[in-house]
Chain A
């Protein structure tokens, strides 16, 4: 199935939303892949960080929202630190998480966490986890 591109699809509402929420201009990214090369979790991701941007550049925001990648981003900022064009990919990931949760609900339920883990984990793990994974 061919991906159909047009002016409308490239400038869709979702694309605008991602750019607005993240504050990043995705046309800056020239797809060098340095972010993906340095991302510590990239090996576990289904779509590479640079490919997330590529999907948005092609107007395919829903595919990006449906990835496991955006939930594996730990916001470690390594991508942003090394990007030659200064794109803050962590902000793009955050925007996608927000949009995904608006559509699909929370990505993490308290019920999913084992009771023993609830007792063990430091507070900040939950505070951060719930901030990132729930609305």
Chain B
């Protein structure tokens, strides 16, 4: 190790440098492609069975209203097929030892119950499975089978079995999937496996989660029907979602005509130890309200806000469009509480601009719940000995001048795991982290070439 904290290649003599990226959302995928396209190998580890992260759950992206799947699927396919990307999904990191230039990572691949080498992704098992459960991917707005892929465009398009809810694992009966599988890929006795990887650098891109509604008792605490999170509403809007893109109330399937959107649900709230702004909610709420109006022409959308944060490129124009073109009624005031009254959800808010307390009998309420880091981020930070802040977000080496570095040489961070960010920003951060990795890789490669006399000094 030289003083600058970069390693030479003596640790692993003739192997070209390899990167590990933890998290295969849009950030991790961007970083993976950048590094792989530069000619270096990437080990891309993902906890879920397939890649794409949150963006796979999104219907359209602000401010362009591009179809998220349409712009992302070329990436996921590229990642899935890239000769230099070694994709390991349905897996978690168990331990990391070593240092820059020589990290030794132990990965546990959970038992899928399906032999992916034999599986062709035909989907017959999913079709035939008799057991339905609430789907996490659908944010509880829809269901999946006990054997499932996350979505029709999943990469890899191979299913896993949810052992907790599978009839066979519970009772020994069923086995329908096994019966119908044309390649004999079902393997109920499959065990978790361990994989050891040696890499030179690690990029952590583990993304975000949503604030638990149970911590918002004044907004129903997660127990009041027809009060859902923004991501759940996203699934209702999605053409490949549980309602095929039709906006329906979860309680009775009716089309809601009065929809209230509540911003800052858990954000900007020091009393709840959540002082920060979640950055993207003003934008996605405007998007949700607009898309709702596009589908339900005679519906009314209300947005309760304290401020509107729309600083990105073309963001302000987007919000104004919601107000002017789609007639979304923005009401400046924070909702104090909501409660069920018969068929509807009564919302008690305020319009601070006219000085009037407001009551709306809503058919559906969408909460823009705060962005929080995933629980796994904390565990990884501990394993890697890198800093997280009081909220669990990864801390970058310098807020201004080093947005992807950490205190640990060879470990980089990117994406929403650092803090709430929008898609353009996390993609940029993914590329930034990749650039840092590539900077090291090319330096080492060049140093080696110089040492061997096969390159010319400048």
Contacts and interface: CB of A to CB of B under 8 A. Distances in A.
Nearest to B272: A84
Nearest to B353: A33
B333 A38 contact: no
Contacts, number: 73
A128 B400 CA distance: 56
A30 B350 contact: no
A70 to B, nearest CB: 15
Interface of B: 218, 264, 268-272, 306, 332-337, 348-352, 355-358
Contacts of B218: 38, 82
Contacts of A32: 264, 268, 306, 333-334, 352
A50 B350 contact: yes
Nearest to B331: A33
Contacts of B306: 30-33
Given A43-B357, A82-B218, A84-B334, A37 B268 contact: no
Contact of B334 (A37, A43, A47): A37
Given A48-B352, A82-B336, A36 B357 contact: yes
Contacts of B351: 33
A30 B332 CA distance: 12
B355 A48 contact: yes
Q: Which of B269, B356, B358 has the most CB of A within 10 A?
A: B269
Minimum-distance CB pairs A-B, first 5: A38-B336, A37-B336, A33-B333, A37-B350, A32-B334
A31 B335 CA distance: 12
A88 to B, nearest CB: 11
A86 B270 contact: yes
20 contacts: A32-B264, A32-B268, A32-B352, A33-B306, A33-B349, A33-B351, A34-B333, A36-B336, A37-B333, A37-B335, A37-B336, A37-B349, A38-B218, A39-B336, A42-B357, A47-B355, A48-B350, A48-B356, A83-B271, A84-B268
B346 to A, nearest CB: 12
Contacts of A64: none
A38 B335 CA distance: 8
B268 to A, nearest CB: 6
A36 B349 CA distance: 8
A51 B355 contact: yes
Given A33-B306, A37-B334, A37-B337, 20 more contacts: A30-B306, A31-B352, A32-B264, A32-B268, A33-B332, A33-B351, A34-B333, A36-B350, A37-B335, A38-B336, A38-B348, A42-B350, A43-B357, A47-B355, A50-B350, A51-B352, A51-B355, A84-B271, A85-B271, A86-B270
Contact of A36 (B268, B269, B333, B337): B333
Interface in A65-90: 78, 82-86
A35 interface: yes
A85 B273 CA distance: 10
Contacts of A50: 350, 352
A105 B260 CA distance: 45
A38 B337 CA distance: 7
A48 B351 CA distance: 10
Contact of B358 (A30, A37, A47, A82): A37
Given A47-B355, A48-B355, A48-B357, A35 B269 contact: no
Q: Which of B272, B334, B335 has the most CB of A within 10 A?
A: B334
